[in-house]
Structure 1
């Protein structure tokens, strides 16, 4: 075996890797925030909405959770373009990620909502809280606190799964690595660098979610419950 490793040739492209990592983080951030809001609304609809709405949400969740993200991305990005709705590639990619993570968020938040005891709701009603106050302070916040570790892990996986979007033309981190490979022909070195960068991004996100956990859930911090 006469292969000689040359990481210098790959690291010379660090500005491209930094650009790709920034795109990946932006996709993950917007998809996480919008996907959480969308998934939470779907979870509320599935637990408390009318029957017809529950069935629609259930169908959406099953369709998304049982099809690959790549197929969903092709369908949403190129499908919308085929009917004349042309969006910037990053906007289309974000929509695809939101639709995907929204289904998983729906099920995670639904589990949290179902864990709320009926007695807590009755106590809130006895205190004279409005329906909105009950949902915000007695249902959604405690539900999110209980499932927060699952949500955080799912959103880290979302960031890693964004690499699939390189197949539809998004120049995020993995997409940039394909360009570097074609220029340097150093496939092994590129994937080593790529793995290190993804590991660093994952750790960065976990630290961010840990800090968010400390800010949002004071009770969890007092009890010393891990994220």
Structure 2
């Protein structure tokens, strides 16, 4: 094993010399559920490299309505930025699945990146992938039915987890998808009827990953977020092979 082995995709791609230099300003950090990584309209104090867990990027209307515009895990840096010079961050970023990682002061990171083009290129590619995810979220919201959108959303979360269980409530899924709770309940029943998932209070279990991908179809498999990239985000020995996970 390399001396700087990491579950974070950006950290994992760094040369040992680059990682050693970056480690001088990184600090290990626990990220419990509900932890606020960034707040809309507030200065960005720290950036995070997640090793585990999932963060939601949430947009809020002037009237206070919220919807999830992106999800982030161990595939990049959180929040997804290329420069630390911006005075305000436009979205809320909050941990929804607890995890851990490393954090760095935004000002320190800005100075560190000034003369390190290799690391900046990695951050740039990660930012491009996140923008592609956001664009596809907008497209999916406009053209797909709620059951397909929900299948895509479950797959995106599953990409960033090691296991096949997602601890999430119907209410939260409804808020993040911008629909009524009853619509989520109906969509979950459709996915269960196809034997793709098992859903109970506060928990979704993926039963057949391959079939869930087929159900989501072009909502999930789109340019810019390809299947070639996804194996590097999550590790799912059974589900990634199309295995069936029976509910307990």
**TM-score, normalization: structure 1?**
0.25
Which protein shows a greater Rg? 1
Higher helix share: 1
Relative to total residues, which structure has the larger strand share, 1 or 2?
2
TM-score of the pair, normalised by structure 2: 0.24
